[in-house]
Structure 1
Amino acid sequence: MNEKIGKMLSQYLTFTLDRELYAMDIAKVREVLEYTEITRVPRTPEFLRGVINVRGRAVPVVDMRLKFGLSKTTQTVNTCIIIVEVDVDGESTILGALSDSVQEVIDLEPDQIEPAPRLGTRIKTEFIEGMGKSGDQFIIILNIDKIFSAEELSVVQDVGEEEGQAA
Structure 2
Amino acid sequence: MDVSHQQSQATQGDVNQQYLTFIMGPEEYGVEILSVQEIRGWQKTTAIPNAPEYVKGVINLRGNVVPIIDLRQRFGLSELTYGPTTVVIVVKVKIEKNSKVIGIVVDAVSDVIIVDDKNLRPTPDFGLDTDVRFIKGLTSLSDKMVIILDVHKLLGNEVLPSAQQLSSIIEQLEIPAA
Aligned 1:147-166 pairs, distance under 5 A: 147-148=154-155, 150=157, 152-155=158-161, 157=163, 160-163=166-169, 165=171
Secondary structure of 1:6's partner? coil
Aligned length: 164
Residue 27 of structure 2 corresponds to which residue in structure 1? 20
Aligned 1:2-151 pairs, distance under 5 A: 4-148=11-155, 150=157
Runs of 4+ in 1 over 6 A off after TM superposition: none
Q: Is contact 2:94-2:156 (8 Å) kept?
A: no
Deviations 1:60-87 (A, max 9, x none): 1001011111123420110000000011
Name the aligned partner's letter for residue 77 of structure 1: P
CA drift of 1:48 comes to: 0.6
Relative to structure 2, which stretch is displaced further, 154-163 or 83-92? 154-163
Name the aligned partner's letter for residue 128 of structure 1: I
Percentage of matched positions with identical amino acids: 32
CA drift of 1:95 comes to: 0.7
CA drift of 1:43 comes to: 1.2
Q: Is contact 1:60-1:159 (8 Å) kept?
A: no
CA drift of 1:111 comes to: 2.2
Q: Output the TM-score relative to the length of structure 2.
A: 0.84
Query: C-alpha distance in 2, partners of 1:60/1:112?
Result: 33
Residue 5 of structure 2 corresponds to which residue in structure 1? none
CA drift of 1:16 comes to: 1.0
CA drift of 1:154 comes to: 4.2
Name the aligned partner's letter for residue 87 of structure 2: C
Deviations 1:79-132 (A, max 9, x none): 000000011233211010000000111101112210111111110001000001
Name the aligned partner's letter for residue 103 of structure 2: G
Q: Is contact 1:58-1:163 (8 Å) kept?
A: no
What runs of 5+ residues in structure 2 fail to find an aligned partner? 1-9
Larger helix proportion of the pair: 1
Q: Output the TM-score relative to the length of structure 1.
A: 0.89
Q: Give the alignment's Cα RMSD to 1 decimal.
A: 1.9
Query: C-alpha distance in 2, partners of 1:112/1:162?
Result: 46
Query: C-alpha distance in 2, partners of 1:157/1:148?
Result: 16
Relative to structure 2, which stretch is displaced further, 3-12 or 125-134? 3-12
